[in-house]
Amino acid sequence: MTDDNPEITAVPAETGEVRAVGERQGMFGVKGSGDTSGYGGLVAPVVYPAQAQRPYGGWFDAVADGLDPLIDAVVIHRGEITFHISAANLVAAAKLLRDDPKLRFELCAGVSGVHYPADTGRELHAVYSFLSMTFNRRIRVEVSVPDADPHLPSLCGVYPAVDWHEREAFDMYGLIFDGHPALTRILMPDDWPGHPQRKDYPLGGIAVEYKGGSIPPPDQRRSYS
Residues 72-112 pLDDT 10s:
999 998 899 999 999 999 999 999 999 999 999 999 999 99
Q: Are strands 124-132 and 137-145 parallel, antiparallel or unpaired?
A: antiparallel
Phi/psi at 179 (nearest 5 deg)? 95, -5
Cα–Cα distance for residue pair 128/121, rounded to 1 Å: 20
Q: pLDDT band for position 222 (50/70/90)?
A: low
C-alpha dihedral, 107 to 55 to 15 to 127, nearest 10° = -20
Q: Does residue 56 have a pLDDT over 70? A: yes
Q: pLDDT band for position 14 (50/70/90)?
A: low
- C-alpha dist (Å) from residue 152 to 111, 112, 143: 12, 13, 8
pLDDT digits (tens, 9 = 90+) for 179-219: 999 999 999 988 888 999 998 887 665 555 545 566 666 66
| Burial readout 32-69 (b: 16 or more C-beta within 10 A, e: otherwise) | ebbbbeeeeeeeeebeeeeebeeebbbbbbebbebbee
Q: pLDDT band for position 64 (50/70/90)?
A: very high
Position 16 scores a pLDDT of 56
State the CATH architecture for 18-220. 2-Layer Sandwich (3.30)
Count other C-beta atoms under 10 Å from residue 70's C-beta: 17
Percent of the chain exceeding pLDDT 70 equals 77
Count other C-beta atoms under 10 Å from residue 98's C-beta: 18
Residues 6 or more apart whose Cβ sits within 8 Å of residue 83: 63, 64, 67, 71, 73, 74, 93, 139, 140, 141, 142
Q: pLDDT band for position 152 (50/70/90)?
A: very high
Average pLDDT estimate for 7-27: 62
Cα–Cα distance for residue pair 114/186, rounded to 1 Å: 17
Enumerate the domain spans of the chain: 18-220
Instruction: Name residue 186's amino acid.
Output: I
Q: What's the whole-number average pLDDT of the chain? A: 85
pTM recorded for the entire structure: 0.80
Dmax over CA atoms of the chain, in Å, equals 63
